[in-house]
Chains A and B, each alone.
Chain A
Amino acid sequence: GESVGLHLPTLSVQEGDNSIINCAYSNSASDYFIWYKQESGKGPQFIIDIRSNMDKRQGQRVTVLLNKTVKHLSLQIAATQPGDSAVYFCAENPGGGADGLTFGKGTHLIIQP
């Protein structure tokens, strides 16, 4: 797999490899974090979420890791497929409840055949 720095606008990986997308969040009081996938011309689509009382959460082929000490979030995609090609955004809920999400800048995941 390929690991990236804190935030890169573009990540290129080989099909079948694991992908790791990183994100730094700003508000230490945020208690909910979410990863979205956005394909070209479409709205963001939910991938996985995690609450601040957890360090790790797994879904189907995806894992989210939360490090509250350094305010860092990562998304791991196992066995990357062509259909994973998209822009991935992390988002936090700084106000809690219904106040809206604060989004990161996004990472464009490119899958090499």
Chain B
Amino acid sequence: NAGVTQTPKFQVLKTGQSMTLQCAQDMNHNSMYWYRQDPGMGLRLIYYSASEGTTDKGEVPNGYNVSRLNKREFSLRLESAAPSQTSVYFCASQGLVYEQFFGPGTRLTVL
């Protein structure tokens, strides 16, 4: 099992560019999550999908959109990137118990 995988690992964007961060899990989990982590901070929830076909806003959703493509995949889109979105983005999944499993992260820099 690969667990939770994320692509790309690194990305540099210019202000105003768009991109999609990809996430997939192979644990047959119902719930998936996107977090961002700024330097010296804990993770903050951007969006989540409690089950296939549903998505909900988290603590910091502004400037992002998500798509739950199927049970395995949950993508995060930045339509018009801003320097304030420079961060490390983590995807996670959760099964029947509350433990969340995290991917390795995507390090995004917006110039």
Please name all residues of chain B whose beta carbon is closer than 8 Å to the beta carbon of A36 when the two chains form the complex.
102
Q: Is B19 an interface residue (CB 8 A)?
A: no
Contact B50 A49 (CB under 8 A): no
Contact B42 A98 (CB under 8 A): no
Q: Is A3 an interface residue (CB 8 A)?
A: no
Nearest Cβ in chain B — how far from A52, in angstroms?
11
Contact A97 B90 (CB under 8 A): no
Q: Is A101 an interface residue (CB 8 A)?
A: yes
Contact A49 B98 (CB under 8 A): yes
Contact A99 B50 (CB under 8 A): yes
Interface pick from A12-20, A39-47, A57-65, A70-78:
A39-47
Contact A43 B104 (CB under 8 A): yes
Within 8 A of A (CB), among B41-57: 41-45, 48, 50-51, 56
Selected contact of A43 from candidates B31, B48, B58, B90, CB within 8 Å: B90
- Given the known A-B contacts A43-B102, A98-B51, are A106 and B42 also in contact in the complex, defined by CB atoms under 8 Å? yes
> Contact mask A73-113 → B, CB, 8 Å, 1/0?
00000000000000001010100011111111110000000
Selected contact of B103 from candidates A43, A93, A99, A100, CB within 8 Å: A43
- Given the known A-B contacts A32-B98, A43-B102, are A100 and B30 also in contact in the complex, defined by CB atoms under 8 Å? no
Contact A46 B99 (CB under 8 A): yes
Nearest Cβ in chain B — how far from A41, in angstroms?
8
CA distance A44 to B99 in the complex (A): 11
Please name all residues of chain A whose beta carbon is closer than 8 Å to the beta carbon of B56 when the two chains form the complex.
99
Selected contact of B98 from candidates A34, A43, A44, A106, CB within 8 Å: A34
Contact B48 A103 (CB under 8 A): no
Contact residues of B with A, CB < 8 Å? 4, 30-31, 33, 35, 40-45, 48, 50-51, 56, 58-59, 90, 92, 94, 98-105
A-B contacts, 20 of them at CB < 8 A, read A9-B40, A36-B102, A42-B104, A43-B92, A43-B104, A44-B90, A45-B102, A46-B99, A49-B98, A91-B43, A93-B98, A98-B31, A98-B51, A99-B48, A100-B33, A100-B45, A101-B43, A101-B45, A105-B42, A106-B40
